[in-house]
C-alpha cells in the first residue's frame, strides 16, 4: 500500500510529514524566496535539525508549493 504524499514522512529524525511542511508554509507570512520559507518551516516543524539528510527534499517541496501558491 502506497502512502499518500500528504502523509509521507520527509524528515525521519523529527517525523515531519509533507502535510506538516505544507501547513507551516501556508501559516507563514508572505514569503518570497525558498530559503526564507525553509527557515520559517524549520522554526515551526524542527525539520532538518537532526541529521540534515532531508534538507534538499524539504527545499524542493517548499519551492514546489510556493510555485503553486
Predicted structure pTM score = 0.83
pLDDT in tens, 25-61: 888 777 778 888 999 999 999 999 999 999 999 999 9
Q: Which domain holds residue 33?
A: 5-68
The CA-based angle 55-56-60, given to 5 degrees, is: 120
- The number of folded domains in the chain is 1
Q: What is the CATH number of the domain that holds 25?
A: 1.10.10.1100
With contact defined as beta carbons under 8 Å apart, do 62 and 34 qualify? yes
Question: So what's the pLDDT on residue 1?
Answer: 44
List 17's β-bridge partners, or say none: 9
Amino acid at each position: 500500500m502506497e502512502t499518500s504524499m500528504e502523509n509521507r514522512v520527509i524528515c525521519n529524525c523529527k517525523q515531519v510529514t509533507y502535510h506538516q511542511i505544507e501547513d507551516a508554509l501556508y501559516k507563514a507570512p508572505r514569503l518570497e524566496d525558498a530559503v526564507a520559507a525553509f527557515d520559517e518551516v524549520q522554526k515551526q516543524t524542527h525539520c532538518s535539525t537532526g541529521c540534515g539528510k532531508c534538507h534538499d527534499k524539504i527545499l524542493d517541496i517548499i519551492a514546489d508549493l510556493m510555485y503553486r501558491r
